[in-house]
Amino acid sequence: MDVALVGFAVLLVLVFLRMPIAFAMGLVGFAGFGVLSGWQPSLAMVGTIVSDTALNYGLSVVPMFILMGNFVVRANLSAELYDASHAFLGHRRGGLSMATVLACGGFSAICGSSLATAATMSKVALPPMRHYGYADTLATASIAAGGTLGILIPPSVILVIYGLMTDTSIRELFAAGLLPGIVGIVLYMAAVRYVVWRDPAAGPAAPRRGGRERLQALRGVWGTLLLFAVVMGGIYGGAFTPTEAAGVGAGGAFLIALSRRTLTWRSFYEVLADSARTTAVLFAVLIGALIFSNFVNRAGLPDGLLALVSGQDLSPLTVIVIILAIYVVLGCVFESLSMLLLTVPIFFPVIKELGYGGLGPEQILVWFGIIAVVVTEISLITPPVGLNVFVLSGVVRDVSTATVFRGVTPFWCADIVRLAVLVAAPGISLLLPRLFYG
């Protein structure tokens, strides 16, 4: 266990020295395993992990969902989603920010990427909000916070990776993520209401749209609803596996982009190239995390933590609160996916044995996956790393990161409330998995 702690310290030093997290985890994992078991077994372990990960059929869901998200972005479905939300909410104070959050939730349901959601919605939602005099703090914060929904509302690449790392059912994770995602949308809207209650000038009302305009706006989102219904309905109904659903979704998104005449040969090549780059980065981080995971398991860290928890006679809730506090602290330093991949191999054996809320081992892993992703969402909008904030600042160059960070404070407070609710009531996350799969 002491060797594992030294390895963590070395890893943190390498990260602060700006070594890419994938290489830092791989290097520390390889060296640590070599110290414990010998260099030849360590080389064999690395080779096995690289080949097994590259040939893992279950991981083919990752590039397919990434490809689906890129085609969705290219099809400009975000504009229709925002227009429909605007039609029903824009006439309220703060209504355009609420419409942004709702559109981000809908776009996340077919995109699956927080960064892509934030970057895309900034181009669609920010100009109207500025036109009606919204404060930059509220306008940019609603986009940055709404974008975080992309890693929770299914299909979610992070949930897929969590499921493969912990041997948890991906379709149950997808079912479990839906209601917490909706709770997140509702609480983000409440955060907007709080902001405009404190400062009505931050989010003035836009003109009310008539019934005919609203109906026309709804007609524009048929492609989004159809794609989500086919992909997620097929998974929930057992018509196809998540891997097959990813292929169907990518094909459907391609046909939608084609029908809207938004694809050229050049843009088609860019979509494929961007999907390949993103997949390569994810696989590199995953391989590094698996190498590091083998090292910490060989060093006995998970067993040591489990023995420590058992010896201290801590309640399951106390253990969970401590783990979540560690996640919050790490979220201030690590990128979200890296943080999850780094910590899940250490924490999930402890969580599995807790028996929190009377949940069985399989149920508690599904629940903990949702909790871990919600904490990861918080890290996307909190300083100093907050990736969504930096992505938004890169797209909207006349708004500083300090302005966005100041604006997102009510939103991550809403996330803390959601986290507390989901911890106190695991049934919210497990309702749909129980309903669909027993």
pLDDT in tens, 25-84: 899 999 999 988 889 999 999 999 999 888 888 788 888 888 888 888 787 777 788 888
The interaxial angle of helices 136-147 and 114-131, nearest 10 deg, is: 150
The DSSP code sequence of 109-164 is HHH--HHHHHHHHHHHHHHHHHHTT--HHHHHHHHHHHHGGGGTSSS-HHHHHHHH
pLDDT at 422: 94
Whole-model pTM? 0.84
In this predicted model, what pLDDT tens digit does every residue of 362-389 receive, in sequence order? Answer: 889 999 999 988 988 888 887 766 777 8
Residue 328 identity: V
Over the range 74-104, which residues count as b (16 or more CB within 10 Å of their CB) and which as e?
bbebbbbbbbbbbbbbbebbbbbbbbbbbbb
Sign of CA dihedral 345, 347, 350, 355: negative
Token pair for 357: 């809320």
Structure tokens at 385: 């790393």
Sequence ranges of the domains in the chain: 59-263+300-437
Task: Compute CA distances 413 → 333, 393, 408, whole Å.
Answer: 19, 21, 9
Asked if residue 116 lies in contact with residue 73, where contact means CB atoms within 8 angstroms, the answer is yes
Residue 193 has pLDDT above 90, yes or no: yes
Q: Name the DSSP letter for residue 203.
A: S
User: What pLDDT is stored for residue 1 in this prediction?
Assistant: 60
User: How many Cα neighbours within 13 Å face the side chain of 254?
Assistant: 15
- The C-alpha atoms of residue 13 and residue 19 are separated, in whole angstroms, by 9
Confidence of residue 21 (pLDDT cuts 50, 70, 90): confident
Closest residue by Cα to residue 238 from 174, 189, 289: 174
Amino acid at 100: T
| Torsion-angle region of 381 (φ positive above 0: left; ψ -120 to 50: alpha; else: beta) | alpha
Model confidence band, residue 298 (pLDDT cutoffs 50, 70, 90): confident
H-only helix segments in 260-300: 265-298
Residue in this structure with the two tokens 């981000």, named with its chain if needed = 104
Which band of pLDDT confidence, cut at 50, 70 and 90, is reported for residue 310? low
What lies within 8 Å, CB to CB, of 29 at 6+ separation is: 7, 288, 291, 292, 293, 294, 295, 296
Nearest residue to 193 via CA among 145, 147, 138, 146: 138
**CA-to-CA dists, residue 288 to 49, 54, 61, 112, 408, angstroms:** 9, 13, 19, 23, 32
Percent of the chain clearing pLDDT 70 (strictly above): 97
Res. 142 pLDDT band, cuts 50 70 90: very high
DSSP 8-state secondary structure symbol assigned to residue 358: G
Average pLDDT across the chain, whole number:
84
C-alpha to C-alpha distance for 113 and 122, rounded to whole angstroms: 14
Q: Which residue has the higher pLDDT, 310 or 397?
A: 397
Q: What mean pLDDT is predicted for residues 213-224?
A: 78
> Which range, of 80-84, 129-133, 305-309, averages the lowest pLDDT?
305-309
